Amino acid sequence: MTRLLLASASPARRATLTAAGLAPLVAVSAVDEDAVLAAARERFGALEPADAVLVLAQAKAEDVARRLDDVEVEGWDDDDVVVLGCDSMLELDGEVLGKPSDADDALARWRAMRGRSGVLHTGHWLVDERDPSDGGTRATLGATASTVVHFADLSDDEVAAYVATREPLAVAGAFTIDGLGGPFVERIEGDHHNVVGVSLPLLRHLLADIDLTVPDLWRR
């Protein structure tokens, strides 16, 4: 049986995949994100936001794939696995915004974001660790999904109250769409799940490239 192994500690990604019937295994990568991006810039030059998240997603997936013999994965019973790495960033005025460094940073972010629009980029990377005798391809591939997010014009009190919950400190772009931040997103253009952290339609296309379907990974 083939299982999806999520190389991310994000509870939102895990919940999204579980709701879609995939019930992923989880193993958190040990990637130094700043070092990975610095190495990529040295090699390729300046990175567009859509490329930066893809570089990080690849690094996370391939790190976990390399360490499969050493990592502890709850519920894994020597099934074949396909490793999925993801990374998300918000682009606003050409600037890339990951997780806020602290509450003051989150306050500043929301004061800049309110009443405006940004683009949430999520990089996705798959590493096929299935044995070739079982149909595995040993492929490593990925793509980025991008969704336009239109933010509500929050008052100062609303911004302060939201940051005080500390939810914005734990997520890329300092907001959620599936949590307390939901009322502060007026609308989106693109895939809703991508804003949560994993694009299910894009994942379906990536799986097709390695001859898998979403139902192949459903946990019945």
Beta strands in 129-184 (DSSP E): 140-151
SS3 154: coil
Identify the active-site residue in 87, 153, 191, 209.
Answer: 87
How many residues are given for the chain? 220
Q: 104 catalytic, yes or no? A: no
**Whole-number Å distance between alpha carbons of 138 and 140:** 7
CB 88 within 8 A of CB 172: yes
List CB contacts of 86: < 8 A, sequence separation 6 or more: 6, 7, 8, 10, 13, 57, 60, 122, 123, 124, 125, 197, 198
Element holding 160 (H helix, E strand): helix 156-164
Catalytic residues, by residue number, are: 87
